[in-house]
Amino acid sequence: MQTTIEHHLRIDPHPRKSDFAAGFAARIHDPLWFLTRQWQMGEFQGENAATPVRVDYSLVTTPIMASPVAPAADPTRIPAESIIEDHPDSWWTTGRRLRIGARIADGYTIGHTDRFTPPPPYHHLIDRPDGLAIWRRRAALQIPDAEFDALGVPRTRESAWKSDELVYATQFPTGDPESDSATLSVVRHRGGDVDWVTADASSAYFAGDRVDREGRPSPLHYPGAPVSRWWEFEDAAVDIGGYPPDSAHPVTALLIELICTHGDDWFVFPIDVPVGHVATLPDASITVTDSFGDRTAVTAPVDDWSMFTTTGADVRSLVLWLRAVTPLEGPILDDVLFGMDEYANVLWAVERRIAGQDVTEPDAPAAPAPDEHPRTEPRAGDPGTRRYRYLAGIAPQVHWHPYEIDRDSEIPRFVQRAVADLSSDPPHLIAPPTAQVLRVHTDAGEAVHTITPATIPSSGTHLESRYKLARGTDGTPCLWLERHRAPVLRPPGRTVRFDDVVEV
């Protein structure tokens, strides 16, 4: 049989590099051909245009005043997150809870419920008196407020946290409180970064002093922007299609405009505005002077269009909060998962982390088969009546807390209830929630936690709390306890088992 050797003589490519970037770049190795194509497309056609060299504008700055929930916190000096998300419990750090608890416990009898279980690395201080728990139960323990005032404990103040909607809500007046300047209302802040979209304005007018200034314009540049078209070549590594715009860059429409025109005729000019203020550019207040000396008034292309619009405010106004850009974040203290049981119309709150420690659920015992419980013969004198005992298929979990809807109230709400363990004799109630995000503390005592039905979507909601630390413009440290609400992909679930009745 004849043997062929064609496959031994075939030439195969042998790549020396595993990077495909060079092939996708499609570099042009003939600059003259590229310049010719520019000439054919009209790239070299010039106009008697000029370059802007100066911008004259008028600016109105309106300071953001203190919120009623924190009258001593100046939004021009303290980050807005620490003002809006601050909580009365933020003052009670681990060290203060232990120190004040030890001082107060010297002269009073402190029970087990007032003991502290601190998170790591303070777990070796377990079962110490908890100053925060004692403060909340000071009336029941008959401890006068003067005892805590001597230790510097602040009085309970108002909080922006709305426990029934799991959001923050407060107001910030602007300008002179006696004037008719607009008010910024934080309606549904879920925790996290504060920006121009966080608040709504009560009106379009912001009172303030008007000053005239000038600026020097410069061409607009951003990552991936095309270079100037005059005798320059594009960078082969630039991938416009792979550039994702975000909140720190111009909007996508502006990017598309730049790519289509392929020119560098967009200019920006800086405006010096202090943080914690509302900046407003009045109508017809911008005049551009070009290199030929011509002056042109600049107006918005559309009356009601703005790149950063605050609801209720004028399109020429921009809210500039003092933000905590990179705060230090502590570990998660409380972690709760909310889920709806639409068949039973019950809302469940599952504690997954309490006071910085993960919650471990015990395995639910399975219901024994009926044949594992043999029938007992009637005793002498027994008329033959048999006794039975209820056996739950799933033991109630300690950290699962139900919310039942109350339709008798004026506004239907989910009201926190308790679960009873019917497998014990006599039945007993499961312990109430321990996570502070599920508890409501008032001056009159602890109230029952309620949630509005529209707060929790069908997919569930995730709520967590943690400490954050930042600094103000004067270097003052700002510590606050943030509660952050976020959606989840699926609600909590458990395996369903049938209950049983066994003879005893």
Q: Which amino acid is at 412?
A: P
Task: Round to whole Å and give the CA distance between 66 and 33.
Answer: 64
Task: Convert the pLDDT of each residue in 120-152 to its tens digit.
Answer: 777 777 888 888 888 888 888 888 888 888 888
| CB within 8 Å of 410: residues ≥ 6 apart | none
Contacts 24+ apart (CB under 8 A), 87-92: 87/159, 87/161, 87/480, 87/481, 87/483, 88/154, 88/156, 88/157, 88/159, 88/441, 89/132, 89/436, 89/481, 90/467, 90/479, 90/480, 90/481, 91/153, 91/154, 92/131, 92/132, 92/135
Which residue do the tokens 């405006």 mark?
A: 271
Task: Round to whole Å and give the CA distance between 46 and 44.
Answer: 6
Average of per-residue pLDDT values in the chain: 80
Q: 223, 254, 215: which is closest to 240 by C-alpha?
A: 223
Query: Whats the size of the chain, residue-wise?
Result: 504
Q: Please tell me the predicted confidence (pLDDT) of residue 375.
A: 45
HSE toward the beta carbon, residue 37, CA cutoff 13 A: 8
Select the highest-mean-pLDDT range: 156-160, 270-274, 439-443: 270-274
Q: Is 219 left (phi over 0), alpha (psi -120 to 50) or beta?
A: beta
- The pair of three-digit structure tokens given for residue 35, joined into one six-digit string: 């310049």
Contact 125, 142 (CB under 8 A): no
Q: Which amino acid is at 31?
A: P
Q: Environment class of residue 117 by beta-carbon count within 10 Å: exposed (0-12), middle (13-18) or buried (19+)?
A: middle
pLDDT confidence band for 253 (50 / 70 / 90): low
Q: Environment class of residue 396 by beta-carbon count within 10 Å: exposed (0-12), middle (13-18) or buried (19+)?
A: middle
Q: Is the pLDDT of residue 190 over 90?
A: yes
Task: Round to whole Å and give the CA distance between 429 and 407.
Answer: 24
- Asked if residue 426 has a cis previous peptide bond (ω within 30° of 0), the answer is yes
HSE toward the beta carbon, residue 221, CA cutoff 13 A: 5
Q: Please tell me the predicted confidence (pLDDT) of residue 371.
A: 45
CA-based end-to-end distance of the chain: 89
Select the highest-mean-pLDDT range: 8-17, 39-48, 237-246, 461-470: 461-470
Q: What is the DSSP letter of 64?
A: B
Domain boundaries, the chain: 88-158, 218-262, 332-377+386-503
SS3 for 115-138, per residue?
EECCCCCCHHHCCEECHHHHHHCC
Per DSSP, what are the bridge partners of residue 487? Answer: 461
Q: What is the DSSP letter of 38?
A: H
Which residue do the tokens 């029952």 mark?
A: 448
Task: Round to whole Å and give the CA distance between 241 and 235.
Answer: 14
Q: Is the pLDDT of residue 364 over 50?
A: no
Is pTM beyond 0.85 here? Answer: no
- The pair of three-digit structure tokens given for residue 36, joined into one six-digit string: 């010719």
Task: Convert the pLDDT of each residue in 390-416 to its tens digit.
Answer: 776 666 778 899 999 988 878 889 999
Q: Please tell me the predicted confidence (pLDDT) of residue 368.
A: 46
Task: Round to whole Å and give the CA distance between 289 and 269.
Answer: 12
Contact 416, 401 (CB under 8 A): yes
Task: Convert the pLDDT of each residue in 27-52 to its tens digit.
Answer: 667 777 777 777 777 767 766 678 89
Contact 318, 199 (CB under 8 A): no
| CB within 8 Å of 475: residues ≥ 6 apart | none
Which residue do the tokens 């909607």 mark?
A: 165
